[in-house]
Amino acid sequence: MAKILSISSQVVCGSVGNSVTQFTLQRLGHEVWGLPSVLLSNHPGHKIYGGARLGSKILRPVLEALEFAGHLKQVDMVMTGYLPSKEHVFIALDALKLVRKLNPNVIYLYDPALGDDCRPGSPEGLYIDVKAAECQRAELLPLADIVTPNRFELEWLTMRPVMDPQTALVAIDQFGNDRVLATSIPGISGRLLNLLAGDHQPLAASVKQFDCAPQGTGDLIAALYAASILNGDAQERALGLATKGVETVLRASEGMDELNLIGSQEDWSMVEPAKVSQIEYIPA
């Protein structure tokens, strides 16, 4: 069992941010300490929502108490997701540096929750402040061991067009991180690809494109991949399990406006990996 410090959003009702990350990783055998960047009633994509951002006055004393009590030295992985302001980026950065000082072997998974191509009722693009996104690119991205962008985020972070697997791999090559799991990359016949590349032969898993999928799939695939890596799985199996797990949840969530994460847990927690293939990377 690993211990994960996860800094992201928290909703009272629904399945996004830490509400996805915590349950998914706990269901797969790991302990998660969720530090909320925001606390909302539900996802702000809905017409009615309420809540607020949690800033330094609340979050820093929490981190200081965790350090003083000796908890942070137990952390095996730090995950960051929704960080809507520069203040939140620097809180996450300080937390990561503190944990790495106590445990140099900690893994950092950076899930850049910056934006998307298609959000029902909203324009495509960034859904956080551009200065916060730029700060993440400058401060967090270079420190990450694992990065999990969707197609839009990969394109935005690298400032390179991502239109197919090869352009995605060219963009991934710019990161220099150990592992990049890029999702929703256009494939063939209307399907999408999840690509895993970095310090090994690029791997791809094909997925069905769901119409108007609920929010939270990025949080879900990051959590599923993290759980698999922490369980000691090889890269190919980790990609296959994460891909199949998300597909299983999405099939169980068709017609719903939230991920049916808890209702489908017996299925996604026991899946067989999706088919994974090696792909050739032709540098630009």
Q: Is the dihedral of CA 254, 255, 258, 262 positive or negative?
A: negative
Q: Phi/psi class of residue 147: alpha, beta or left (left: φ > 0; alpha: ψ in -120 to 50)?
A: beta
- 248's tokens: 């299983």
* Secondary structure letter of residue 143 according to DSSP: G
Helices 151-158 and 165-175: crossing angle in degrees, nearest 10, is 50
For the question of residue 219 being annotated catalytic, the response is yes
DSSP reduced 3-state for 205: strand
Q: Give the pairing type, strands 146-147 and 125-126.
A: unpaired
> What's the count of helices (H) and strands (E) in the chain, helices before strands?
9, 12
Q: Give the pairing type, strands 77-80 and 277-278.
A: unpaired
* Secondary structure letter of residue 28 according to DSSP: T
Greatest Cα pair distance in the chain = 55
Rounded Cα distance between 96 and 78, Å, is: 7
Q: Which of 94, 111, 178, 219 is catalytic?
A: 219
Query: Exposure of 166 by Cβ count < 10 A (0-12 exposed, 13-18 middle, 19+ buried)?
Result: middle
Just list the catalytic residues: 219
